[in-house]
A and B are shown apart, each in its own frame.
Chain A
Amino acid sequence: NAGVTQTPKFQVLKTGQSMTLQCAQDMNHNSMYWYRQDPGMGLRLIYYSASEGTTDKGEVPNGYNVSRLNKREFSLRLESAAPSQTSVYFCASSVGLAGGWGEQFFGPGTRLTVL
């Protein structure tokens, strides 16, 4: 079991460029999440998908879009990258949303720099 995998590991973009961050999990989890981590800020939720076919905004959704392609895959798209989106992005998954079902398993992260 690979757990949660993310591609790419590193990416450098110029302002205005677009890109998609890919995430896949092989644990048959229902729920998937995208976070960003910035220094001194902890992890902040961008978007999440409670189950296949649904997506909802998190704390910091502006400038991002997501697609829950199937139960395994959840992608994050930056349509027009800005320097403020320079961050480390983590994908996570969980069996469900609440309580013990909501224990999240994280991927290794994508370090994105926008120049």
Chain B
Amino acid sequence: DQQVKQNSPSLSVQEGRISILNCDYTNSMFDYFLWYKKYPAEGPTFLISISSIKDKNEDGRFTVFLNKSAKHLSLHIVPSQPGDSAVYFCAASGGGGTSYGKLTFGQGTILTVHP
């Protein structure tokens, strides 16, 4: 039972354009959402997060949008740069019961930004 899904395994964009990475979840008890970026042979690094009481959070070129009614979040990167090429994971926490304190990760989306 995949509670967090990233349905696009890969995304390719041109430098300077917008990258939009999508994530869907099924557990309505999730109350905190995070995006991580991962380069090859390195551990994931935290990028940006959003609480379920908000619908948008912005940090420089990165913006996360949360649509609770659709159980959908997205990460926008504007403008995209070649250094943004990495695997992006969305994650959710607060799933209630025995899920308290645990992050549930999506499968990841490989972003490639072409110069």
* B31–A108 CB distance below 8 A: no
Report B91 CB to chain A, min CB distance, Å: 8
* B107–A102 CB distance below 8 A: no
A58 sits at the interface (CB 8 A) = yes
Report A64 CB to chain B, min CB distance, Å: 16
Report A21 CB to chain B, min CB distance, Å: 13
* B43–A97 CB distance below 8 A: no
A 90-115 contacts with B by CB, 8 A: 90, 92, 97-100, 102-109
| B interface residues, how many (CB within 8 angstroms) | 26
Main SS class of interface, B: loop
The residue from B9, B43, B94 contacting A108, defined by CB atoms under 8 A apart = B43
* B100–A98 CB distance below 8 A: yes
Report B100 CB to chain A, min CB distance, Å: 7
**B 45-82 binary contact with A (CB < 8 Å = 1; else 0):** 11001010000000000000000000000000000000
10 smallest A-B Cβ distances: which pairs? A97-B101, A106-B43, A42-B105, A43-B105, A42-B107, A99-B32, A106-B44, A108-B43, A107-B43, A103-B46
- A-to-B contact residues, CB < 8 Å: 4, 31, 33, 40-45, 48, 50, 58-59, 90, 92, 97-100, 102-109
